[in-house]
Amino acid sequence: RKSVKEKARLRLREFDVGDKFSRLPLPKASVLLPLMVRKGKLHLLLTVRSMQLRRSPGQVCFPGGKSEAIDKDEIDTALREAKEEVGLQPEKVEVICRLVPGIDKMNHLVTPVVGFIEDTFQAIPNPDEVSNVFVVPLEYFIKPLNYKTLPYKTSSGYFSRMHCFTYDDHEHKKSFEIWGLTAHFAVFLALVIFGKRPTFEVDYDLDNLISSSENNFMNLYASLHEREKSNL
């Protein structure tokens, strides 16, 4: 019987996009999707943005941020940001893959980098950037207890649905709202690893998840490109 980790690794490697989208002419950002195994189940580490931040204060997100000149690639960016935000040392992350990117509201190309960390990791949040760190079972993102969907139009006029999860964390005795690009990446990660149909609608052909996720992204990128042309 393959371990939970080994099964996840094999699935994730099938979905690794490498640097396939790295040359698109958009400003770059990366996030780290830190996976850990607790009590035989996969969990995902998330952070809450500090209330002092100008952009999206108090929102749930993954450790990450904009690419800097010193970063070799998207993996470097994600690891550097995770170290700055929660004190996660790069050598403590087993990087598995890069998944299909997303585009945030500032039109950054955001690459999700997936890596395993030890379940013993104790986050040291940088208070200027992070107010809280918590862990959610990955399965919650295909079988949530508290979920709603919001239709939304991207800045380029592309219609999509936004996943919104409410997670009751018994450890912190708090509820966390997880939505937007963070929820989008978490859902895709869960679909990739579990290969199961979620209890809610998604914008993918689940029988052709690789091609359908890449097509969705390229349609989103194309709609952004069209709008930029029409603004010239």
* pLDDT tens-digit map of 52-97: 877 777 899 999 999 999 999 999 999 999 999 999 999 999 999 9
Q: What is the pLDDT of residue 176?
A: 96
- Name the 3-class secondary structure at 196: coil
Tokens of residue 192, six digits: 């990739």
What is the rounded CA–CA span in Å between residue 49 and residue 16?
28
Give me the mean pLDDT over the 96-112 stretch. 95
Per-residue DSSP letters for 44-71? EEEEEE-TT-SSSTT-EE-SEEE--TT-
pLDDT digits (tens, 9 = 90+) for 133-154: 999 999 999 999 999 998 887 6
Mean pLDDT of 6-14: 97
d(CA 136, CA 181): 16
Whole-angstrom Cα distance, residue 32 to residue 81?
Answer: 8
Contacts for 159 with CB less than 8 Å, ≥ 6 apart: 151, 152, 153
Q: Is the pLDDT of residue 169 over 60?
A: yes
| Secondary-structure class of domain 4-231 per CATH | alpha beta
% of the chain at pLDDT higher than 70: 95
User: How much is the pTM?
Assistant: 0.94
Residue 152 pLDDT: 81
9/77 Cα distance (integer angstroms): 21
Percentage of the chain beyond pLDDT 90 is: 82
Indicate if the pLDDT at residue 232 is higher than 60: no
